[in-house]
Amino acid sequence: MVSRGVKLSLVIQFVLEGELRRDPDIPLEEEEAQSEPLIISAAIITAYLMRTEQLSQEGALESLRLSCESVCPNDGFLDQLKMFEDMGFKVDPASSIYKRFRLRILGGFRTLL
């Protein structure tokens, strides 16, 4: 099973690679065929802004709120975004920051049982 932190890293890499390949003058087939708007998590967009613009969690959320005032990631996502910032805008499962975060999550599960 892939951890959430690794998934976040993969999603950001996917977005970055797509951004590099994309010619803005040529519409994507998926965009033309799409009948409903694509909904992307505010936490993913915030993480993307953090990494690409080297913004703090607060700075990225502030930037995103300029486009959508109602953005309000839940506390769990905010914790993950802070961890992402503390790790230098990357996800490193070997990092002590990441390991403490995972232990805190596991400890929380025990209190729910």
Q: Could you write out the DSSP letters of every residue in 61-89?
A: HHHHHHH-TT----HHHHHHHHHHHHTTS
What does the pLDDT read at residue 75?
87
Residue 59: CATH number of its domain: 3.90.190.10
CA distance 47 to 59: 11
Separation CA 27–CA 5 (nearest Å): 31
The span from the CA of 68 to the CA of 63, in Å, is: 9
Read off the tokens for 45.
């967009």
Per-residue pLDDT for the chain (113 aa), expressed as one digit of tens each?
344 555 666 667 666 665 545 445 444 444 444 444 445 688 888 998 999 899 999 999 999 999 888 888 888 888 889 989 999 998 888 999 988 888 887 886 554 44
Say what the pLDDT of residue 88 is.
Answer: 92
CA pseudo-torsion sign 18, 19, 21, 25? positive
- The pLDDT score that the predictor gives to residue 28 is 43
Q: Which residue has the tokens 């010619």?
A: 23
Question: Which range marks the domain in which residue 101 is found?
Answer: 4-112
pLDDT at 59: 96
What number of residues does the chain have? 113
**How many domains, the chain?**
1
Instruction: Give the pLDDT confidence score for residue 86 in this predicted structure.
Output: 93
- Alpha-carbon span 34 to 26, nearest angstrom: 15
pLDDT given for residue 85 in this prediction: 93
